[in-house]
Amino acid sequence: MINLEEFRSRDLVKGLAAKIRELTAGRTDTMTFMEVCGTHTMSIYQYGIRSLLPPQVRLISGPGCPVCVTPIGYVDHSVAFARLPGTIITTFGDMLRVPGSTSSLMQERARGADVRIVYSPLDAVNLAEKNPDKKVIFLGVGFETTAPAIAGSIIIAAARGLENFFVLTAHKTIPIPMQVLSSDPELGIDGYICPAHVSAIIGANAYRFLAEEHGIPCVATGFEPADVMHGVEMLVRQIVEGRSDVEIQYSRFVTWEGNVKAQAVLRDVFTPVDSAWRGIGVIPQSGLEIADKYAAFDAAKVIPVEVEEPREAKGCQCGEVLKGKVAPFDCPLFGGVCTPETPVGACMVSSEGSCAAAYKYGQ
Amino acid sequence: MCLAVPMKVVSIDNETAIAEVDGVKREASLMMLNEEVNVGDYVLIHAGFAISRLDEAEALETISLMRECLELGQETL
């Protein structure tokens, strides 16, 4: 019988940290590992992982917060939809306070727009069924963990013959951006702490090109503190032994092939497209657009609306933070004008954002 | 956002399961799950969909690998 609480054991974390110190003892080089999942970012801050590591091991945060990497134009688009009469906007909670160019969904809600937080896109489908006279728009933001749920809800809405359920998509996929970042000499990434639940969907094989063609060690790692420490230990071991392999630390939920059923659903509902990442720019084939077959559910295609010209906030370093080039504390706005109560950039809004995690837990 | 929660399946009705963690019960669609699932299994649930089933043998194996460093931790801290 397994006790999943054990992955939070302090003793296991301490033991693994000691192993990392033993492996790096006497080395003068620095190993830089990037995590590309917001839940890892939170976990590393929350459990003080950095404070347990030797100076040779440096952890940096990448573009793992889906709300943060979504361009401001998407927020403006959702704000424009929220202003349309007869519309209900449905979203996961962290989108609500993200500042757009001149407004946010929270501000629109205060002005009377119908904006609702849902736990699942299926809740939005049910809402559409109960409100046939309203257009229900779900904000589809997230990586490969979230995209299958949105794809599933589109399939279910189609099966129920709903004509008033729509999705505004900004889904992103992570492996190609990882390759883009690892080729940036300024970052000097020596290994990736690969996402836990994204990997449950796409499978660890998805990182093989990074390890085999680009020489970057990759370890699919769980979110609990002992998992994170274990993932770092496996990366350190690869560097010490001169290897660059893909390994699975989170083997209790991640396989090499991933969830092939979810992958098939993704291929059915979405088409890979070039996609704009905040702070990074357009990355080829790193986004998911609703396929033509399901175009009737694509809010951007079927609901016309005028969207304002995008304007980024002055001084906000969110883009550089997302690339791991600027630490949250080094942004001139951090903790002064920009706090979770009055966020200037998306990195301070979402609980998964590096700035929000740094503000809450400090380091 | 990508945080899915491991929950224990308490009942199954066609493609929908009820799963529980810390006394909280949630409905989850099984349409996205690759593996067969039974009452008592742990599944990873994200936004109303089960996306992976816990491999208990792998979980125990990981714990035992981690435990190999236990003594080292006690010696040095």
- Give the side-chain half-sphere CA count within 13 A for A169: 33
Q: Vertex A277, ends A77 and A83: CA angle to 5°?
A: 10
Closest by CA position to A222, among listed A177, A190, A244, A254: A254
pLDDT at A351 over 90: no
Query: What local confidence, expressed as pLDDT, does residue A350 receive?
Result: 84
* Largest Cα span, chain A: 69
In this prediction, residue B76 carries a pLDDT of 56
Please choose, from the candidates A197, A123, A129, A189, the residue with its C-alpha nearest in 3D space to the C-alpha of residue A159: A129
Q: What percent of chain A is modeled with pLDDT above 70?
A: 100
Residue A287's identity, in one-letter code, is G
Nearest to A222 by CA among A244, A245, A252, A243: A252
Q: Is the dihedral of CA A32, A37, A38, A44 positive or negative?
A: negative
Distance from CA of B68 to the nearest CA of A (A): 8
Predicted confidence (pLDDT) per residue in A14-69, tens digit: 999 999 999 999 999 999 999 999 999 999 999 999 999 999 999 999 999 999 99
Residue A315, Ramachandran bin (φ over 0: left; ψ between -120 and 50: alpha; else beta): left
What letter represents residue B71's amino acid?
A: E
For residue A280, the model assigns a pLDDT of 86
Instruction: For residue A186, count other CB atoms closer than 10 A to its CB.
Output: 7
Q: How many CA atoms lie within 13 A of A347 on its CB side?
A: 30
Interface of A with B in 79-108 (CB under 8 A): 92, 94
B interface with A, Cβ–Cβ < 8 A, is: 1-4, 6, 29, 31-34, 42, 44, 46-49, 51-52, 54-56, 58-63, 65-77
**For residue A142, what pLDDT is reported?**
95
Check if A12 contacts B (Cβ < 8 Å). yes
Cα torsion through A228, A231, A237, A242, rounded to 10: -130
Name the stretches of chain B with pLDDT < 70.
Answer: 1-2, 75-77
Taking the Cβ of residue A225 and every Cβ of chain B, the question of whether any pair is shorter than 8 Å is answered with no
The set of residues, in sequence order, having a beta carbon less than 8 Å from that of A48 and lying 6+ positions away, is: A361, A363
Q: Which residue of B22, B33, B49 is the best one to mutate when testing the A interface, meaning the one whose CB has the most A CBs within 10 A?
A: B49
Domain housing B45: 5-76
The three-state secondary structure class of B25 is: strand
The three-state secondary structure class of A289 is strand
Is pLDDT at A206 greater than 80 in this prediction?
yes
pLDDT of residue A41: 94
Q: Which residues contact A63 (CB under 8 A, 6 or more apart)?
A: A36, A69, A177, A181, A277, A279, A280, A322, A323
For residues A277 and A69, the answer to whether their CB atoms sit within 8 Å is yes
- Within 8 A by CB and 6+ apart from B34, the residues are A259, A260, A261, A262, B52
**How far is A222 from A43, CA to CA, in rounded Å?**
10
Query: Would you say B2 and A198 are in contact if contact means Cβ atoms under 8 Å apart?
Result: yes
Cα–Cα distance, B51 to B44 (Å, whole number) = 6
| Total structural domains within chain B | 1
Pick from B1, B44, B66: CB nearest A230: B66
Q: What Rg do the C-alpha atoms of chain B give, in angstroms?
A: 16
pLDDT tens digit string along A236-255?
Answer: 999 999 999 999 999 999 99
| CATH number, domain with residue B25 | 2.30.30.140
Q: Do A252 and B62 touch (CB under 8 A)?
A: yes
DSSP secondary structure code for residue A85 in this structure: T
pLDDT band for position A319 (cuts 50, 70, 90): confident
CA A280/CA A352 separation, integer angstroms: 18
In contact, B59 and A230? CB cutoff 8 Å: no
- ipTM > 0.90 for the complex: yes
Q: Which residue has the tokens 């809004």?
A: A349
Domains (range + CATH), chain A: 1-318 (3.40.50.11740), 319-361 (no CATH)
pLDDT of residue A363: 61
Rama region for A136: left / alpha / beta (φ>0; ψ in -120 to 50; rest): beta
